[in-house]
Amino acid sequence: MVDPITGFSRLSKEEKIEWLSKTYLAGNKEAKKILRQYWNPDSSLQKLHEEFTENTLSNYYLPFGLAPNFLINDRLYAIPMAIEESSVIAAASKAAKFWGKRGGFKAEVLGTQKIGQVHFIYTGKDHKLQEFFNITKPKLLEAVAPLTRNMEKRGGGVVNIELRDKTELLSGYYQLHCTFETRDSMGANFINSCLERFAETFQAEAKAYKAFDASEKDIEIVMSILSNYVPDCIVRAEVSCPVDQLEDHGMTGEDFASKFVRALKIAKTEPYRAVTHNKGIMNGIDAVVLATGNDFRAVEAGIHAYASKEGKYTSLSHADVRNGMFRFWMEIPLALGTVGGLTGLHPLSKIALEILQKPSAEDLMKIVAVTGLAQNFAAVKSLITTGIQQGHMKMHLMNILNQLEATPAEKEVLVKHFKTHNVSHSAVEEQLEKLRN
């Protein structure tokens, strides 16, 4: 039985590791060595990483790779991706090469507004609350003027505040539904600061509002927080080409297009398939979001909510054939930033943005959406032709060899062998055993 520890956050990093080693890793003689092995030898860089979060013991590395030759709106990009999954960067690169010969990707931002809400309880008469809100709205905007001044200089700020009645869902529940423009910053801290100021002002003004009776003055603020669901912060990415340019793996362009569109229809109608279909899209999106120091959890939550916006979880991407032209496209919500937060702190994130030619937030939205679409195209293309495992398992071969502790010489022999043989864990294990015997 392990006793609780008090004051853990006040321990030094070495003391934390010693406690962890004795308490939970007593049987692992290598644990302390491995944790220290991942420290950065540059002490200032290590300190920077430790200050990103709390109770840091070590660093957790992900590969930082590059998918070149993405032609987006007639401009060529090399896209940095931080991801550990085999074949993702290779698949994105192949899709970029495929569409680069067919005019490239087109992308446009359809909206950039973000949402925050003040959730509160009011038990008085609805019309009196509406009258109070109409009178108080200018005061709310005035209250956040010191916070919005710099954002407004960059073309952002508070776009609107609405009073929303949610009492059908929950007794006494109302919202201040607030819309923001945050330009090149993701804007979470800016939005949350404005919302908390709105809440304070709204509550204080209610107490002084003469038309309210005693109970109506007592508005209860439940919480003030931004939403990661951003259905008005939308980017569209697409590709198109004549059907006869889709000939692949012995299939005619017509057959390829027909099978591709049918696969997308299955993802549109079957939630079990849609989840995996969209996960493939997120392989590309998350990798670029991570590489550029953005919040992939927020992006994931918002995109999956968007996939369910019609009451059923469905495919994010779409495809059709009209007048001999194949089209493949996607519209997704993406709230991203290129200034502030980790984007300006993590050295690799800064390099990633430099690789992308120092994009604006809108440019980054286009790049990220295109990467997701490319990843999706590559996955569906494999599924309807060779099958997903052939390419994936060949890329996964090195992971299997490392798990089996193959030597460099053994890896060289087995990589050559599996260029012409199907890869599976058992097949690799069997060949390695033969080689060793």
Which residue numbers are catalytic?
Answer: 85, 279, 295, 392
CB-side neighbour CA atoms (13 Å) of 329: 15
Quote the tokens at residue 355: 């690789």
Distances (CA, A) of 199 to 193, 205, 434: 10, 10, 70
Candidates 315, 288, 132; CA nearest to 211 is: 132
Strand-pairing partners, residue 251, are: 248
Query: 92 and 375 in contact (C-beta within 8 Å)?
Result: yes
d(CA 112, CA 409): 53
Query: 330 and 281 in contact (C-beta within 8 Å)?
Result: yes
Phi then psi dihedrals of residue 234, to 5 deg: -120, 140
Strand-pairing partners, residue 116, are: 178, 226
Residue 87, C-beta contacts closer than 8 angstroms, at least 6 positions apart: 391, 392, 394, 395, 396
What would the 3-class secondary structure string for 337-356 be? CCECHHHHCCHHHHHHHHHC
The residue behind tokens 């660093």 is: 59
Specify the length of the chain in residues.
437
The residue behind tokens 């905007």 is: 141
Question: Collapsing DSSP states into helix, strand and coil, what is residue 74?
Answer: coil
383: number of Cβ within 10 Å: 15
Distances (CA, A) of 138 to 133, 202, 205, 347, 409: 9, 11, 12, 42, 73
Candidates 341, 301, 316; CA nearest to 115 is: 301
